[in-house]
Every structure is written in structure tokens, then in C-alpha cells.
Amino acid sequence: MNTTNKHVRISVGEFKVGKAERNAINKVLDSGRISEDEMVRKFEQEWAEYIGTKYSVAVNSGTSALISGLTALKYNCEAPKIEKNTKVITTPISYVATSNAIILSGFEPVYVDVGTDTFCITPENIRAHLENASNL
């Protein structure tokens, strides 16, 4: 655990776009289509190849991605059946969309505290939560 009194800068919304990225973005903007077009299909195909799946689907937001992924878990024929109201561990330090996606997918969010040095959920905190019988 980091017990020093150092300040950690956490950048939110900061990004850098290079020339190649700007050209790709302008190509899409110039096409007049920002969804369901050649570049989206190309991305979906290349991403599916990269992760080793037959298909992938681009969505409009992180929230939609969470809902899609969580919903897909319920219909995965190759995995054990996941029941409605199954508990999903998440961090309490997240945008409300995380909890909303869990709830909208038919699951129940369970909050596990974050590490004080990183502000991220930690395997140790998850393990401690799971080992505490009153949390189950």
C-alpha cells in the first residue's frame, strides 16, 4: 500500500491524435456516414480476427458495450448458464453507466472498494470480499 503523501495525476479526457488518425477520422466524416459503413465493417472484421472470434459488433458507447457483453454472457452456449440477478463485482468509483449496464442486463452490482494508491479495484479486495461469508 502506498502510504506516502504523493499526489497522483489522473488525466481524464486527455488524448492525442496523430496524422494517420486524423486522416482516418476525416475519411469517415467526408463519407457522410459515421455508422454502418465500410470503415465500421472493416473495423469489426479486423477486430474479430485480432481477438480470434468469428464476429464482432461495434457499438456507440462504452455503456452499450457493457450491456452487450453482459447480455452475451447469458446466451453463451459454451459456458455454464448464468441466472438472472447473478451478482457482478464492480468498483464504486465509476460512472453510473457501469452499474446501470449491470442492472439493465439483469444482474446485481456488488461494490468492492478500491486501492488507496491507484483508485482501482484490486484482486486483494475482491478476494477479501469473496472470502467474507456475509458478503455472499
pLDDT, tens digit, for every residue of 18-73?
999 999 999 989 999 888 888 899 999 999 999 999 999 999 999 999 999 999 98
Same domain, 54 and 65: no
Q: Are residues 35 and 84 in the same domain?
A: no
Residue 6 lies in a domain: no
Residue 1 has pLDDT above 60, yes or no: no
Q: What is the 3-state secondary structure (H, E, C) of the chain?
A: CCCCCCCCCCCCCCCCCCHHHHHHHHHHHHHCCCCCCHHHHHHHHHHHHHHCCCCCCCCCCHHHHHHHHHHHHHCCCCCCCCCCCCEEEECCCCCHHHHHHHHHCCCEEEECCECCCCCCECHHHHHHHHHCHHHC
- Report how many domains make up the chain: 2
> What pLDDT, on the 0 to 100 scale, is given for residue 12?
76
Q: Are both 49 and 71 inside the same structural domain?
A: no
38 is in which domain, residue-wise?
Answer: 15-58
Residues 65 and 49 in one domain: no
98 and 132 housed in the same domain: yes
Shared domain check, 35 and 67: no
Residue 49 shares a structural domain with residue 95: no
